[in-house]
């Protein structure tokens, strides 16, 4: 990056010049959220990608989000500031092993969380996000046998609120698994009136302490509508940027990870994206997200099915 350059101004100029749109997930660093054209949860990012008429989509999130955008918009250029921005949850479900799991359990509908590779989506009947998982699971008859992957915590939570007994893949997110009952109870002692907000990727024991279990967008909505002043937030701490912006008079307390002295629990993959990398990505139109054509053709169906059901 050239010295003395005004990165924000240059990013805005390049966006206009190239008819590019910058989409950012709520877990991005504040500097990215400040400059993105749109920020949202994983469902909203997919919905945005599906409807934008920009020529270039820069996905400030992790790789599977870029893949989802590319699968929905095969003719657009989809860029991601750092190709190493993966996801431990997606990695916990390799496509060859998932294919074997499906083969071993015939007669099941396959529902996959959006946090999966394109190859896993290609094996899937319908994709879900944490915003629409309950609605989509309930759109199937009660006696329908279902495989749900890869997040066992989200799967267990959906089973518990729908009374279903979906067969679960044994995967998890290394960030959300780090939230512990102890740290939340400690914060509850300090802020006894606070609402505890929990993402469903957290362990069941943590979800039990929640006043609200929801996706990032759902937790934000709850905080905005609530008359409470304090909120203890058990999800990646990037969401606090938008919570504080939308509710400046309220107090948001991030739950620290159980095994560390850090005040916040951040996703190392999400945080690989920086303003400098975003600038270079726009300037050189690199790195690009590429999805194999055959896989994309299969994966687009369960993603579109999700978008239709969630309309
Ligand atoms: P949502 O954006 O759907 O809440 O998902 C959280 C997440 O972990 C994304 O990687
Ligand atoms: Fe994946 Fe977890 Fe990071 Fe989300 S927070 S991108 S699920 S590793």
Question: How far is it, in rounded angstroms, from Cα 237 to Cα 29?
Answer: 9
Q: Where do the DSSP E strands lie in 34-169?
A: 38-40, 56-60, 77-79, 109-113, 126-128, 146-149, 167-168
- Summarised one tens digit per residue, pLDDT across range 36-47 is 999 999 999 999
Could you tell me if 265 and 179 are in contact, meaning their C-beta atoms sit under 8 angstroms apart? yes
Ligand 2 atom closest to the CA of 173, numbered from 1: 2
Place of tokens 């969401």: 239
- Mean pLDDT, range 197-213, rounded to an integer: 98
Q: Calculate how far, in angstroms, residue 2's C-alpha sits from the geometric centre of ligand 1.
A: 34
- Summarised one tens digit per residue, pLDDT across range 235-277 is 999 999 999 999 999 999 999 999 888 889 999 999 999 999 9
- Summarised one tens digit per residue, pLDDT across range 297-311 is 999 999 999 999 997
**What pLDDT was estimated at residue 211?**
98
114 is in an annotated binding site: yes
Its ipTM equals 0.97
- Cβ burial of 179 (10 Å; 0-12, 13-18, 19+) is buried
27 is in an annotated binding site: no
Q: Calculate how far, in angstroms, residue 1's C-alpha sits from the geometric centre of ligand 1.
A: 31
Question: How far is it, in rounded angstroms, from Cα 308 to Cα 299?
Answer: 15
**Would you mind telling me the total number of residues written for the chain in this entry?**
311
Q: Is the N-terminal amide bond of 287 cis, ω within 30° of 0?
A: yes
CATH tag, 176-254: 3.40.50.10800
**What pLDDT was estimated at residue 183?**
96
**What pLDDT was estimated at residue 288?**
98
**What pLDDT was estimated at residue 216?**
97
Please calculate the CA angle 25-235-129 and round it to the nearest 5 degrees. 55
Q: What is the pTM of this model?
A: 0.96
Q: Calculate how far, in angstroms, residue 141's C-alpha sits from the geometric centre of ligand 2.
A: 30
- Summarised one tens digit per residue, pLDDT across range 133-143 is 999 999 999 99
Could you tell me if 58 and 279 are in contact, meaning their C-beta atoms sit under 8 angstroms apart? no
- Summarised one tens digit per residue, pLDDT across range 100-132 is 999 999 999 999 999 999 999 999 999 999 999
Please measure the distance between the N-terminal and C-terminal CA atoms of the chain and give it in whole angstroms: 41
**What pLDDT was estimated at residue 262?**
87
Please calculate the CA angle 46-49-53 and round it to the nearest 5 degrees. 160
Mean pLDDT score across all residues of the chain: 97
88 is in an annotated binding site: no
User: What is the pLDDT confidence band of residue 83, given thresholds at 50, 70 and 90?
Assistant: very high
Which residue has a Cα nearest atom 6 of ligand 2?
87
Which residues have C-beta atoms less than 6 Å from ligand 1? 41-43, 115, 129-131, 173, 201, 215-216
User: What is the pLDDT confidence band of residue 1, given thresholds at 50, 70 and 90?
Assistant: confident
- Residue ranges of the chain assigned to CATH 3.40.50.10800: 7-85+270-293, 89-172+298-309, 176-254
Record: fold of 7-85+270-293: Rossmann fold (3.40.50)
Which residue has a Cα nearest atom 10 of ligand 1?
115
Ligand 2 atom closest to the CA of 268, numbered from 1: 3
- Mean pLDDT, range 137-156, rounded to an integer: 98
**What pLDDT was estimated at residue 260?**
80
Q: How many CB atoms lie within 10 A of CB 176?
A: 25
**What pLDDT was estimated at residue 153?**
98
Class of the 89-172+298-309 domain? alpha beta
Take residue 49 and report the two structure tokens written for it: 């990608």
Which residues have C-beta atoms less than 6 Å from ligand 2? 62, 87-89, 115, 173-176, 236, 267, 269-270
Which residue has a Cα nearest atom 9 of ligand 1?
42
Take residue 283 and report the two structure tokens written for it: 């300037």
Could you tell me if 219 and 212 are in contact, meaning their C-beta atoms sit under 8 angstroms apart? yes
Q: How many CB atoms lie within 10 A of CB 7?
A: 16
**What pLDDT was estimated at residue 261?**
84
Best residue for ligand 1 mutational test, from 92, 129, 242 (most atoms within 8 Å of Cβ)? 129
Helices (H), strands (E): how many in the chain?
15, 12
Eight-state DSSP code of residue 61: S
Torsion of CA 163, 167, 171, 177, to 10 degrees: 20
Q: Calculate how far, in angstroms, residue 17's C-alpha sits from the geometric centre of ligand 1.
A: 31
25 is in an annotated binding site: yes
Looking at all shown ligands, the one closest to residue 132's CA atom is: 1
Which residue has a Cα nearest atom 3 of ligand 1?
42
């Amino acid at each position: 990056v050239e010295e003395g350059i005004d990165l924000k101004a240059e990013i805005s100029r390049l966006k206009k010049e190239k008819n590019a749109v910058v989409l950012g997930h709520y877990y991005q660093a504040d500097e990215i959220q400040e400059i993105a054209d749109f920020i949202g949860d994983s469902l909203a990012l997919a919905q945005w990608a599906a409807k934008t008429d920009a020529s270039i989509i820069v996905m400030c999130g992790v790789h599977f989000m870029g893949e989802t955008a590319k699968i929905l918009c095969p003719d657009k250029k989809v860029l991601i500031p750092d190709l190493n921005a993966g996801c431990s949850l997606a990695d916990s479900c390799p496509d060859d092993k998932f294919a074997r799991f499906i083969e071993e359990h015939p007669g099941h509908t396959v529902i996959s969380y959006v946090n999966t590779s394109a190859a896993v989506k290609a094996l899937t009947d319908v994709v879900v996000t944490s915003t629409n998982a309950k609605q989509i699971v309930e759109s199937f008859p009660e006696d329908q046998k279902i495989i749900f992957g890869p997040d066992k915590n989200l799967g267990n939570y959906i089973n518990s609120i729908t009374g279903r007994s979906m067969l679960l893949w044994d995967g998890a997110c290394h960030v959300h698994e780090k939230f512990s009952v102890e740290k939340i109870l400690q914060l509850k002692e300090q802020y006894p009136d606070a609402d505890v907000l929990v993402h469903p990727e957290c362990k069941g024991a943590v979800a039990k302490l929640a006043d609200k279990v929801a996706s990032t967008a759902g937790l934000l909505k709850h905080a905005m509508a609530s008359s409470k002043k304090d909120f203890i937030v058990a999800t990646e701490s990037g969401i606090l940027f938008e919570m504080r912006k939308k509710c400046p008079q309220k107090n948001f307390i991030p739950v620290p990870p159980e095994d560390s002295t850090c005040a916040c629990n951040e996703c190392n993959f999400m945080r690989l994206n920086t303003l400098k990398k975003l600038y270079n990505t726009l300037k050189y139109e690199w790195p690009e997200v590429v999805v194999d054509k055959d896989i994309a053709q299969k994966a687009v169906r369960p993603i579109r099915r999700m978008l239709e059901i969630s309309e």
